[in-house]
Amino acid sequence: MRPLDGLRAEHEKILAFLDETENTRDAEEFVRVLDFVRRFVEANHHGKEERALFSRMAADPFLHGMADALHQDHELGNALIAEIENALREHADLAVISDAFATYARYLRHHIARENTMIFEAVEAVLDERTAAEMLVEFDQIEKEALALR
């Protein structure tokens, strides 16, 4: 098993979730979709990447540029989610909310593809066993915190 396989498995879960929810046309359903996005994608998955992975990449001369780019991607995702939340709060037309969610889904698929195909293998190529083990402990801790959020 490779150290980042847990994150890869989360990518699969997120992609399946996007496939399932992409055609949502109901405001209450969007509230549940956003809850999963905030909890599982943002706090849990991006929390692990930001706090345990990018922080280590930032210390490596070859990987730090990649970490910066991924961090910017996450900020873009946050802004797109805030747009959907605002639209929901203001009871915007469902077509507006659906369009905003479609934009977010497109962004997230692209971001995941970037991590899967370009980044994770480059990180694993330089990761030593001790650092990988530390990272897995941190992942568990972040997941516990994120999934306990209310």
- The residues, ordered by sequence, that sit 6+ positions from 138 with a Cβ below 8 Å of its Cβ are 48, 51, 52
Residue pair 81/106 in contact (Cβ under 8 Å)? The answer is no
Task: Count interface residues toward Fe ion (CB under 5 A).
Answer: 2
Residues 105-134 touching Fe ion, rule: CB under 5 A, are 115
* 42 sits near Fe ion (criterion: CB under 5 A): no
Cβ 110 to Fe ion shortest distance, Å: 11
Among 49, 52, 66, 100, binds Fe ion (CB under 5 A): 49
Q: Identify the three-state secondary structure at position 105.
A: helix
Q: Identify the three-state secondary structure at position 82.
A: helix
Cβ 67 to Fe ion shortest distance, Å: 10
Residue with tokens 């979730």: 17
Distance CA 75, CA 119 (A): 18
- Show the binding pattern over residues 61-100: x = contacts Fe ion (CB under 5 A), - = does not: ----------------------------------------
Cβ 20 to Fe ion shortest distance, Å: 18
Closer Cβ to Fe ion, 88 or 123, answer by number: 123
Closer Cβ to Fe ion, 83 or 115, answer by number: 115
Closer Cβ to Fe ion, 115 or 143, answer by number: 115
Degrees to nearest 5, angle at CA 74 with 69 and 79? 125
- As a 3-state breakdown, the chain gives helix, strand, coil percent values, each rounded to 5, of 85, 0, 15
Which residues are at the interface with Fe ion (CB under 5 A)? 49, 115
